[in-house]
Amino acid sequence: MNLYKKSFLKLLDLTPDEISGLVSLAAELKAKKKAGVPHDTLRGKNIALIFEKTSTRTRCSFEVAGYDLGMNVTYLDPSGSQIGKKESIADTARVLGRMYDGIEYRGYGQTIVEDLAKYSGVPVWNGLTNEFHPTQILADFLTVKEHFGHLKGIKFVYMGDARYNMGNSLMIGCAKMGMHFVACAPEKYFPDPALIEQAQAIAKETGATVEFITDPKTAVKDAQVIYTDVWVSMGEPAEVWAERIADLTPYRVTMDLMNAAAPECVFMHCLPAFHDLNTTVGREIHAQFNITEMEVTDEVFESEKSIVFDEAENRMHTIKAIMLATLSNIELTAAVR
């Protein structure tokens, strides 16, 4: 099993064995890094990181992972290139494909990253689109596996807007890995019916379940992971805040909700999170709507149940695994799920 020369665009493109192989490779690379064992086997290769939206974790993970693997890294920020404004994606892809061995893209529509892969001729990695955030899910799965020892059978509840990149990707990822996925939100925030259908077809093969529940207490019964994301994603207009706050406040992750789950339940979040007033946006929302916390309370975020910083660290190890597996001819081994 190998992913040499392939792109990493969405989890729908990967088999369960490939996903578990990448998670295992990430665990190996993490152990090497902790033990100080050099692993710069991609020395001399060059990668470009295109960010049309801002980032802390994803950018730093690609940069550090790139350097650890011995590569040279070019970062293109949201305003510093011709992409989309003066040059089409197809033309940009053909230019960058002549210079770079791999390209990361963070931005808007999934079709953009798919086109980059189609026209560049080199591996392209999706660093977040409106529809999917697949590198995040690998980090989440490595974290769950470290914590519980396995993925299969884990009850994984996603609270909040499940129609966007995080809800979509977690639903597909959990279905692929034989997990019990629940999206909990008002009905209008459930994923696209066509994608739900795909998730259900995958679940049938893997033994997973995929459910949609509007009542938080019912949804989190026996949950081992409660996951949430921001209520308004990058690129969405500021006007949607009022509606999101009204609709999603009952779905905030509180200690009361954590206590209604399984005793071993952990809290996860892709980050950044609005759990206090220590951010500009958090303070602006507080001034306008008089709320001090949004998708998660500060109590839960700072509690023993929260494993969000393990999760953030694992972004780097999993992104490293993706780059190593797609830029070199190495065999992936499917681990126990």
Tell me the catalytic residues: 106, 133, 136, 229, 270, 315
Pick what 307 binds: ligand NVA, ligand CP, none; C-beta below 5 to 8 Å, kind-dependent: none
The count of other CB atoms within 10 Å of the CB of residue 80 is 10
| Binds ligand CP by CB under 6 A, chosen from 57, 145, 176, 252 | 57
Q: Which is nearer to ligand CP, 24 or 58 (CB)?
A: 58
Pick what 143 binds: ligand NVA, ligand CP, none; C-beta below 5 to 8 Å, kind-dependent: none
Distance CA 21, CA 9 (A): 17
Q: Shortest approach of ligand NVA to residue 15 CB, angstroms?
A: 25
DSSP SS3 for 193? helix
Distance CA 314, CA 180 (A): 22
| Binds ligand CP by CB under 6 A, chosen from 58, 129, 224, 318 | 58
Q: Shortest approach of ligand CP to residue 136 CB, angstroms?
A: 5
Structure tokens at 69: 């693997």
Distance CA 178, CA 288 (A): 42
Which residues sit opposite 268 in a β-bridge? 227
Instruction: State which of positions 266-285 bind ligand CP (CB under 6 A).
Output: 270-271
Pick what 326 binds: ligand NVA, ligand CP, none; C-beta below 5 to 8 Å, kind-dependent: none
| Binds ligand NVA by CB under 6 A, chosen from 60, 234, 262, 281 | 234
Residue 88, C-beta contacts closer than 8 angstroms, at least 6 positions apart: none
Are the C-beta atoms of 75 and 51 separated by less than 8 Å?
Answer: yes
CA 296 to chain centroid, in Å, comes to 18
Instruction: State which of positions 268-327 bind ligand NVA (CB under 6 A).
Output: 270
Binding stretches for ligand NVA (CB under 6 A): 128, 164-166, 229-230, 233-234, 270
